[in-house]
Amino acid sequence: QQIEHIDADVVVIGAGVAGLSAAPRLVEAGHDVVVLEARERVGGRLWTEVIGGTLLELGGQWVSPDQTALLETVETLGLETFERYRAGESVYVDGAGERIRFTGEQLPVADDTVAEMERLTALLDELVADIGAEEPWAHPRARELDTVSFAAWLAQQSSDEVACRHIAMFIGEAMLTKPAHAFSALQAVLMAASAGSFSNLVDSEFILDRRVVGGLQRVPLTLAERLGERVRTGTPVRRLEHTPDGVVVTSDRVVVRARRAIVAMPPTLIPRIDFQPPLPRRQHQLHQHLSFGLVIKVHAVYDRPFWREDGLSGTAFSPYLLVHEAYDNTNHEDERGTLVGFVSDEHADGVFAMDAEQRRERILADLAAYFGPEAANPVVYYESDWGTEEWTRGAYGASYDLGGLSRYGADQRTPVGPIHWACSDFAGLGFQHVDGGIRSGWAAAADVVAALDASRASVS
Ligand code: FDA
């Protein structure tokens, strides 16, 4: 195969939302840009496919009102959004397996547990307001909160195990997709701060507000369309040689010589690139302290949204079932009804140990526990398995181990010579969400434009 050689001002590695948000800003500033993407498609963790005749969003999909960078992008690209269906009662399954219908945001647990959950929520909201999303590592309490697991921290705050179990679920199973013993209280605060507050994060009315008609992958697809031939898919980057003056980036089909690079990949995959000279000690270390969570996003499609006839919204929670949360995921103006459910962290390990048929039965049994026996017989059933995706290797995102955020966070986006970093996993506001990916792309592009302007000024 013939290798193509290209000269550019900036090479962007990765055509997820982060890379594709950086590139137009560079083009607007008058720079030549090439985007190299490993996969044969753009969008990274945003991926829409028609499966069994229904459009399914296999990766990220929801947009919330705090995600202003994403909302701005959606508007600029002329995309339409629609509200998630949420009319009717939600369902909760308790520790004894009893199904309870409820309305509002507070789960139907014992009154004293509700009071305790409200107290813990207020405590987390205060910490979030005090610590913020942008530099959690810089807060005086950063080390203290980063050296205790979220599970242990909750146990220190409250002896109500049921309250702790539920609060842990909102950040553990539902967001970082790791068990609450595997990440710190500071990491939990960052996750909540990314959405403005813990209250916002746990409010499904807020955080799971809208979707893009045609799927959220329309965002990266449209950005890539506008960038045209600057985006090269099927070009996994294998090697990055750098000097203070520039980079030579080698992918399977293209070699790009540029003045600056933006690496817009999940941090866990960065060590797969052969950097020459190797990255500094600090980057080698910090990349090893991040790891992906694991979650299976399951779609079950039915000939009609039958749960609505029963007065149910499709929203369901239980820390006691494998499917810890589920929602109505019916498409805009679709006759078919779609449910989406999530199986997270160690539960995902458990069902992945089963064969495919057993797993399907087990997961559908949980949907039936929430929505009745009809849920066990969908016309389409699909599991998104991001853990087997070569160019992602988990879901939803990457987070630090205990102590990692306070120890390394300040350096995670520090450029190394001409190399800059962007990714939702390195974001503050919008951390682990599409919004954070866009923000990190914009920030990296601004840094690159400033650096190129400064070098132009020093030459002239
Ligand atoms: P992303 O990983 O998307 O992009 C990186 C790109 O780099 C990929 O395209 C990859 O192929 C490429 N790459 C990797 N190695 C390479 C190499 N060596 N050479 C070239 N290219 C390389 N968010 C949200 O806001 N709302 C939601 O509802 C959800 N829900 C959700 C569900 C599921 C199942 C997932 C997996 C994720 C979400 N998210 C989400 C998270 C959201 O999807 C995610 O934060 C962003 O899409 C990440 O965008 P980035 O561009 O930062 O990374």
User: Tell me, what's the pLDDT at 67?
Assistant: 96
This prediction has a pTM of 0.98
User: Tell me, what's the pLDDT at 173?
Assistant: 97
> Among 179, 206, 211, which residue's Cα sits nearest to residue 195?
206
User: Tell me, what's the pLDDT at 155?
Assistant: 98
Q: Which two tokens stand for residue 5?
A: 């050689």
Instruction: List alpha helices for 372-433, DSSP H.
Output: 404-408
Nearest-10 Cα torsion for 63, 287, 227, 440: 50
> Among 241, 283, 228, 210, which residue's Cα sits nearest to residue 15?
228
Nearest atom, ligand 1, residue 70 CA:
25
Q: Which two tokens stand for residue 76?
A: 């600029």
User: Tell me, what's the pLDDT at 459?
Assistant: 74
Judge whether 21 and 442 are in contact, CB under 8 Å.
yes
Three-state DSSP at 174 gives helix
If one residue of 45, 329, 433 were mutated to test the ligand 1 pocket, choosing by the most ligand atoms within 8 A of its CB, it would be 45
Judge whether 368 and 151 are in contact, CB under 8 Å.
no
Helix/strand/coil (H/E/C) assignment for every residue in 22-50: HHHHHHHCCCCEEEECCCCCCCCCCCEEE
Per-block mean pLDDT, blocks of 10 residues, the chain (460 long): 94 99 98 98 98 98 96 98 96 97 94 97 98 98 98 98 97 97 98 96 88 98 98 98 98 97 98 98 98 98 98 97 97 97 98 98 98 98 98 98 98 98 98 98 98 86
Measured from CB, residues less than 6 Å from any atom of ligand 1 are 13-19, 36-39, 44-46, 59-62, 236-237, 264-266, 269, 272-273, 297, 384, 386, 391-392, 395-397, 423-424, 432-435, 437
User: Tell me, what's the pLDDT at 23?
Assistant: 99
If one residue of 17, 62, 265, 388 were mutated to test the ligand 1 pocket, choosing by the most ligand atoms within 8 A of its CB, it would be 265
Radius of gyration of the chain (CA): 22
Nearest atom, ligand 1, residue 269 CA:
15
Q: Which two tokens stand for residue 412?
A: 């995670």
